[in-house]
Each structure stands twice: as structure tokens, then as C-alpha cells.
Amino acid sequence: MDVAAYLDRIGLEKPENIVPDAGFLRKLQYAHCTTVPYENLDMIRGIPTSLEPEALFEKIVVRRRGGLCFELNGSFGALLRALGYEVTDLAARYLRGETTIPMRRHRVLIVKAPDGLWLCDVGIGQSCPREPVKLLEGQEFPQFDENYRFRKDDFLGWVLMDYHKGAWRDFYSFTPEPQLIADFIALNFYCEWHPDSPFNTTEMFSLKTAEGRITLDGNIFKEFNARGVTVQELAPQQMAEAYARFGLTL
């Protein structure tokens, strides 16, 4: 792990004295999710993705690409470990918009800092925390005009909730069993190749901003902020510029 190169990729300088605390963790997550895009170009192009740390570093840092949750959180977790954090990878169930309990197909990180355990996630294209959320039941964690909290469930385990249109809704859930890279291979393969996967049919990009996020689904560009959503249907000659907004090349 070339820590200096990774920090440069996300717009940060390597501190002279690295203190793996919650404050630095907050800065790292925000920097990562506002510079490294959520994107599925390899899946669309039929290029198999590797979850090994060396391959993720080469893709995300050297080639300045992005990826989906298995890649982004895997890579971010490797950076955090190199900086001195204790990190546990977990498999999560994405609950937002679901009417039944779905399979586990999301990767999240639990990170230990001196003041407790924190959920870190830089691998979601939709609205999600841009800073870590402390693993405490019932306490609200407002950030960037959004609000999050945890509840406990006998089956689902820890359930992250977000406040949406005047009500709390389930976002995703996880149980505390640590996962290895090998445990995510089948889940990643499902996202790459299964006909029911939502990730392998249309290009989808997302990048967090200070006010919300920008997305590109096919040729539909959207910008989300506190004032609402702007939507633009792009002509072919506009696509290269749109790709560049995510740090990508058409």
C-alpha cells in the first residue's frame, strides 16, 4: 500500500504524524466518496473485476477509476488498515425500496477508533452517509441535510435507517460476522453476471458532493442538492464532458 499515493488520489496530504482517530476517519471517508466515483464500466464491458487489494489499488489509485461496493469499500478498508485502523468487513442486506428481505449483496466496514466503533461506507451510488456513523442504537447522526440512526432487529441485526420525507425508513442491515475477500467473490459475481442484477445492463455513475451527489444513468445526468434535483438528457456529443465530471474517460 502506497499510502501517500492513495491519499493524493483522494485529495489529501499524508500527515507527518498519523493518528487513527474518528476525526481523521471522518476526513478520509468524505474525501474518498467525493473523489472516487461509484461506477460499473467494467461490468458493462464484460471485464471481470478482482477484489484483491493490489488489483483494487491499481484500478482506483493508479488508473484513477471507481467501482461498486465490493471494490470501493474493499479498497478503502485496505487504506484504513495501512493507516493503523482496525477494520472488519461485513456483508449487508440493502433494504431501501424492498418489500421482502433480500440477499446480502453489499459490503460495509466497521472501523474501530479510540472513541468506539464506526460504520464506514464509500460504496453506494444513492444518497448515503458521507461521513462515518457511530455504531450506537437509537442515537441520531445528522449530516449534510440528512439524518441517520441505527436500530436493532432479532434477525437483521444492525439496521441503518435514514430520515426521508418525514419518516424513518430502513436503509440496509448487517450482522457482526467478519467476512473475508473470498466471501464477497460470489456476491460480486452475482452483480457482474446474473440476469437479475441491476448493475450489468446500463452504465451508472455517481459521485458525492458537498451538497448531495451527481449521477449519470445511461445518458440521463442528474444533480441532487438541498434545493432539489435537476435532470438533463444528454446528446451523444455531451457524453465525454459528462464522463469527465466523474473523472472518467469516454
Q: Give the end-to-end CA distance of the chain in Å, rounded to a whole number.
A: 29
Given 106, 128, 162, 191, which residue is catalytic?
A: 106
Number of neighbours of residue 4 by Cβ within 10 angstroms: 11
For the question of residue 69 being annotated catalytic, the response is yes
- Looking from the CA of 245 toward its CB, the CA atoms found within 13 Å total 16
Contacts of 53 (CB under 8 A, 6+ apart): 1, 74, 75, 78
- Looking from the CA of 163 toward its CB, the CA atoms found within 13 Å total 13
Question: What is each CA distance from 154 to 94, 173, 175, 232, in whole angstroms?
Answer: 17, 11, 10, 43
Q: How far apart are CA 228 and CA 114, in angstroms?
A: 38
Q: How far apart are CA 28 and CA 107, in angstroms?
A: 18
For the question of residue 196 being annotated catalytic, the response is no
For the question of residue 121 being annotated catalytic, the response is yes
Q: How does DSSP assign 95-145, residue by residue?
A: -TT-SSPPPEEEEEEEEEETTEEEEE----SSS--SS-EE--BS--EEETT
**What does residue 61 show for φ and ψ, rounded to 5 degrees?**
-90, -55
Given 42, 121, 162, 170, which residue is catalytic?
A: 121
Best CA proximity match to 110, nearest among 98, 121, 99: 121
Given 33, 69, 120, 191, which residue is catalytic?
A: 69
Residues marked as catalytic = 69, 106, 121
